[in-house]
């Protein structure tokens, strides 16, 4: 076989490889584009019909390559962040408090990010305590409600057990804190710092079904700090928990689920 004939036979093979590689590159680019395009075309009525078909076709590859993460948290309008407020009681009667995440105590940044994700994970799992009368007519709702509440309690319980073992405490509780974003007026006119205590609130474990109506003086977005009633939304400075195993010198506690 002459060289000219051999080159003519190899040319179609090279073209096939070029087409195959080009197709894979196009699929990758479309997959990277599909998720943010679908996210940014959402509205209150759902996602855009122009974005859904492309996302549905590429869904297996997008989810396999994990290209659908981050867009909800790193969105142009992020929501409030959440923290864990851990309170410890010791046999001596002494009390300690830990707040996670804490960028001043948790270093390097990766350790802070770990605690940040744990706090958000616990918040996302939260389901109010099961109320049988609210799900009496819907067995499926009751079953799902119980299962989701049990999952939340197991995860929170594992974190409590870790705190008890690490600090040799007698009792421990974990509450969820919400750190809301200040309004434009609070930032530009009132010069409210991002870490102002008035921006932190303790989230209840469940709604006050049998309690009195909500206090109208509770703070809402855009109210000045002076409108907050005494004792509401106040976050004390993070305090390291005492005990033989407490870390000092900027080293951070590691909470594990």
Residues 224 and 186: their CA atoms lie apart, in Å, by 7
Q: What is the pTM of this model?
A: 0.58
C-alpha closest to that of 200 among 76, 84, 90: 84
Where does 44-128 have alpha helices with state H? Answer: 52-57, 59-64, 109-125
Has residue 77 got a pLDDT over 60? Answer: yes
Predicted pLDDT at 7: 60
CB 101 within 8 A of CB 116: yes
9 membership: H or E segment, kind and range: helix 3-40
pLDDT digits (tens, 9 = 90+) for 16-26: 888 899 999 99
173 or 184, greater pLDDT: 173
Predicted pLDDT at 225: 32
């Amino acid at each position: 076989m002459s060289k000219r004939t051999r080159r003519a036979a190899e040319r179609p093979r090279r073209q096939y490889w070029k087409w195959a590689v080009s197709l894979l590159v196009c699929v990758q680019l479309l997959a990277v584009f599909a998720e943010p395009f679908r996210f940014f075309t959402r509205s209150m009525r759902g996602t855009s019909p122009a974005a859904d078909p492309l996302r549905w076709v590429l869904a297996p590859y997008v989810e396999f390559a994990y290209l659908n993460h981050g867009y909800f948290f790193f969105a142009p309008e992020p929501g409030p962040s959440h923290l864990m407020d851990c309170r410890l009681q010791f046999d001596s009667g002494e009390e300690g408090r830990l707040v996670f995440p804490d960028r001043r105590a948790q270093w390097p940044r990766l350790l802070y990010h770990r605690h940040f994700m744990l706090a958000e994970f616990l918040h996302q799992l939260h389901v109010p305590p099961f109320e049988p009368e609210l799900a009496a007519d819907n067995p499926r709702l009751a079953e799902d409600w119980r299962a989701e509440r049990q999952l939340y309690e197991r995860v929170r319980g594992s974190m409590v057990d870790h705190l008890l073992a690490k600090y040799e405490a007698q009792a421990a509780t974990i509450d969820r804190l919400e750190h809301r974003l200040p309004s434009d007026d609070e930032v530009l006119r009132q010069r409210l710092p991002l870490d102002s205590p008035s921006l932190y609130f303790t989230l209840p474990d469940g709604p006050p079904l049998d309690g009195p109506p909500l206090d109208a003086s509770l703070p809402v977005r855009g109210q000045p700090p002076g409108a907050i009633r005494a004792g509401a939304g106040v976050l004390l400075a993070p305090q390291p928990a005492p005990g033989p195993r407490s870390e000092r010198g900027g080293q951070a506690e590691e909470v594990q689920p």
